[in-house]
Structure 1
């Protein structure tokens, strides 16, 4: 597992690196360098991503309920927005991680 010091590196972690769904204690992204998608850390990352997606679906449903409630106050809206942005961040991280592991088409490799 590799730790990077620049959070902006989550966009292009480099070939052969998987962006993991957790961060270092300092808040930096973590990467896994392995060809074994069935390894222990890969399985743990897959499980955590699945949990994050379930949590995101629940947060989305709750946010819709809050937005449909005309009596929802500022604190409720603020807490809901905070939960929603956290879940959206998790989803973006998962999408970045999975997108980074997609094979590059041959015609795009020739251009780069």
Structure 2
């Protein structure tokens, strides 16, 4: 996934929510495979949450507390998917999306 002298953004954060990077020439090494497995789990979780969100939004009986809980779960999943996309696209984010007012 990474070329020589290139760091791979890992799908988890370090202390203080700082990004973690992997430097390796072995895409089949233990840490690379672990990162691939965690990315797959994160993407599967996001997919399942998307289905849950659709059903929840269609349910007129959904309470505000349930909506807040779902919004929190979706926020975490979106953060994970954004990190995977950044890693796979070898992009450097221009700004921290958590700091925006959107």
The two structures have a TM-score, normalised by structure 2, of 0.81
- How far apart, CA to CA, are the structure 1 residues paired with 2:83 and 2:68? 23
Which of 17, 28, 31 is 2:18 aligned to?
28
- How far apart, CA to CA, are the structure 2 residues paired with 1:26 and 1:39? 27
Aligned length: 87
Listed as ranges, the matches of 1:57-68 within 5 Å are 57-68=47-58
Q: Is the CA contact (8 Å cut-off) linking 1:16 and 1:33 kept in structure 2? A: yes
- How far apart, CA to CA, are the structure 1 residues paired with 2:19 and 2:74? 20
Which of 42, 56, 70 is 1:80 aligned to?
70
Across the aligned residues of Structure 1 and Structure 2, the Cα RMSD in angstroms comes to 1.3
Does the residue aligned with 1:20 lie in a helix, a strand or coil? strand
Per the TM alignment, residue 25 of structure 1 is displaced from its structure 2 partner at its CA by 3.0
Report runs of 4+ in structure 1 exceeding 4 Å deviation: none
Unaligned runs of 5+ in 2: 92-102
Per the TM alignment, residue 21 of structure 1 is displaced from its structure 2 partner at its CA by 0.4
Q: Is the CA contact (8 Å cut-off) linking 1:16 and 1:35 kept in structure 2? A: no
Listed as ranges, the matches of 1:1-112 within 5 Å are 16-100=6-90
